[in-house]
Amino acid sequence: MMTPDKTLRERLFHAVLYEVCAMALLVPLGSWLLDAGLGHVGVLALLMSSIAMSWNMLFNALFERLERRAGWQRTPLVRSVHAIAFEGGLVFLCVPVAAWWMAISYWQAFLLDVGILLFFLPYTYLFNWCYDHARARLLARRPACGQP
């Protein structure tokens, strides 16, 4: 059985939940590892989060369209391709922002982004796996259209 398409409202919920959970983990860790203030790392995280949320909604809509057209199931391979492609796009979008905010070179910002990527690759995979399973359980509980 195919699950129903996500509404714009659900896509917004998914993107915000993804970012809130990530920031709750990443900001304290980044502050500690970079020996930088929580506020400074927090602002960078908010900047990058804003970029990532926009990219998340656009990328997931396009990826899900590709999934439907190709008839893919969410196997571990498809989930891995999804996570790698999503994070790869963020590298190109976020490195200039990190270089500017942290006043570092593009190379240093790239290395910082690699560290963030190493966090987000498994996080993206696990978050979306958990979200999909929770969504499937919630949808299974709802009565079918036309039933009481």
How large is the average pLDDT for residues 4-28?
89
Q: Tokens 């963020």 belong to which residue?
A: 90
- Give the helix ranges, DSSP H, for the chain: 8-34, 38-70, 76-102, 106-141
Residue 64: which of 3, 106, 144, 145 has the closest Cα?
3
Dist. CA 125–CA 127, nearest whole Å: 6
Residue 56: the pLDDT is 86
pTM: 0.65
Dist. CA 16–CA 79, nearest whole Å: 20
Query: Of residues 4 and 36, which shows the higher confidence score?
Result: 36
Residue 3 pLDDT class (50, 70, 90 cuts) = low
Dist. CA 145–CA 126, nearest whole Å: 31
What whole-number percentage of the chain has pLDDT above 90?
53
Calculate the CA dihedral of residues 114, 117, 121, 123 and round it to 10 degrees.
140
> pLDDT tens across 80-130, in order?
999 889 988 888 899 999 999 988 899 999 999 888 888 888 999 999 999
Residue 1: the pLDDT is 45
Round the average pLDDT of the chain to a whole number and report it.
88
Residue 2: the pLDDT is 59
